[in-house]
Structure 1
Amino acid sequence: YLTIGPAFALPRTATVSYQIGLAPYIGDDMQTVALAAFTFVFFVLGLFFSMNPGKLMTYIGKILNPLFLIFLAILLVVALINPMGSVATAPVSGDYLTMPFFKGFTEGYNTMDALAALAFGIIVVRAMQSVGVTEPKDIAAGMVKAGIVTVVLMVIIYAFLAYVGASSLGVFALSANGGIALAQIAHYYFGPIGAVLLAITVTLACLKTAVGLICACSETFVDLFPNSISYKKYAYAFAIISFLIGNVGLTQIISLAIPILMLLYPLTITIILLTFLAPLFNGRQAVYFITTVFALIAAIGDMLNTLPEFLGQAAWVQQTVGVYKMLPFFDLGMGWVVPSAIGFVLGLIYIAVVKTKGG
């Protein structure tokens, strides 16, 4: 929740909005001041609506989210029909030359989609229960259907965005982040008016997301720590933290998030896979625990290997990473795979032994 909340995702809602909406029209010497002013207003509004979550935000969500998807669909279709350049001749660099699948896989961590799925899956369950779906089998079936629709749509959107982004290299230089690229592409095809419409739509859609994240994180922490502080104080704290982190800029947030995501994503993927495999071991806690511990130990190596240069060059970090390089697939950013599998097998052996002893 901290990752999809004030640490990374919440600040990104503001910085993405700024990068697409205002940054292209602000001089380099005023970017810092403009970003600070924008994020301040953004989170003041987000805090206000999170304190008064009523029909307005629901209305905005029902109207603007579909509008954003429609605008994005039109942009992608136009870009596909009239590409800016050939994807086949687009320059390829870095790890995309040698291990494109695994590079793309680990870059996908930046979406935080899997983390969000764990955090918000319960919201989908409660939504189904609110309309009368109460049987576990029916809820599971509904979740599977919703999941399939979501996965198909997201695959299409991400694939098209990747294609259009690659084709844009025929006109634009490689951008520092996707927000810059999307703003450039919108301006190229639709001119200033299209770019402004995209900026307004994205900003309001991101504001809606920010309100949802502030509410969800605050409610969760009140539930986790009922004797701590109130919902409003959590909301204020998360908004202030998000404002401060947001002012480092979108590119820097993405860069700083990578080590944390390299730590968390192996645990997230492991938990998801174990949930599907639970019938094999009757959902025994020991299997979850042992597998997760092994995944965590390996994921620490992936995290250290992706630290920013000013931290990653420390002698003890280099020595530790040197030890982790003995793990299979470590150089691919997937050093957690084999240890997790070993932990899973050991967990199965453990519950088998305990079972024979009557434990």
Structure 2
Amino acid sequence: MMATETAPDEVDLSIGEPDQPLPGVLVEAAVASLRAGRTGYTPKLGLSDLRALVAEDVEAGTGFRPDPADVVITVGGTGAVAVALAATCAPGGAAVVPDPAWPNYRVLADRLGIAVLPYRQGPSGDAFADLDAVEAGLRAGARLVVVNSPSNPTGAVASSAALRDVVALAREHDAFVLSDEAYEAVVFAGGRAPSPLADGGHDRTLAARTFSKTWSMTGLRVGALVAPPALREAVAALHGTTAGCAPVTAQLVAAEALRSLPGRGAELAAVYRARSERAVRLLGPWAPQEPVAALGGFYLWVDARRTGRTSAELVAALRGHGVVTSAGTVYTAQDGYVRLALTAPDDVLDAALATTRRTLDALAAEAPAPR
């Protein structure tokens, strides 16, 4: 998705990067750290103050307070996911992964020699995960179940009950759950997304978090992995030898974010809920059918199969009209979908969504009638 640059007259809705700038207080924290000469290594597992602040934030969102010794500051949420996969699954092993899903799970697993066993990721609520497929994967020997709520690409939010069921299956089969919580603070119904760290699931859960989305820190590359004590040694060894440490400036900015901007997620949720509601009106029949209030994050998962076009053809047609999107086949083997990131200023976004509607309408009109 990031292989080519967009032209000046194109609107890029392909990448999940918030269009809100880095808040001023965080800019000042970054500048102050550089002026103070804070450019060296930190302890491999991260600054102790930041690890404690992450533990406090986890408690605020889930009710469970991890030991800061089990919090590792990583190079973005991607680094947290990579360490979690490697810490739980040996080469030749397997992980159970949602479909559709962020593609890095599959790419990382493939590079680590880990088989991917898919399960259908459903709508928000109790039907979020296909538990029969999850259990089948665990019976086949998988050591890890990945959940991502709110979901990239669909925005679906798992219920607490759905996550408890996944944890129960993992415990029954002596496996673990990787909860990718990149968007956990951007929930349209308010509050924060349920986490398997709650309700007694912390002994089986590795939670991957990131500062990229909530605080517009995508390029600073800082995240966190919260892991059970049983995996403390493995997580520390993997992170320390592959990353050394997360960038010190990013860690200092992350600490300031947690201290100074605790309500940032609620602010973003209001922005993206409003954009999602407008998108539903502008896209009409192409908008997802699930109520906006049930979703989170900042993506739209568009089912355009009735155009009769492949995902690649849809992306090419939309780009021909100046709208850059992400092909659905990045996230699933099912063809005919595209993902839109609602990460452009409102007026620009609205124009791009109107163009998307006209383009899909025209493609559907050209599609041959079903036999």
Larger % of strand: which? 2
1 or 2, which has the higher helix percentage? 1
- Give the TM-score category using the shorter length: 0.3 to 0.5
Who wins on radius of gyration, i.e. which is larger? 1
TM-score relative to the length of structure 2 = 0.32
Q: Greater RCO between the two (CA within 8 Å, min separation 6)? A: 1
**How high is the TM-score relative to the length of structure 1?**
0.33
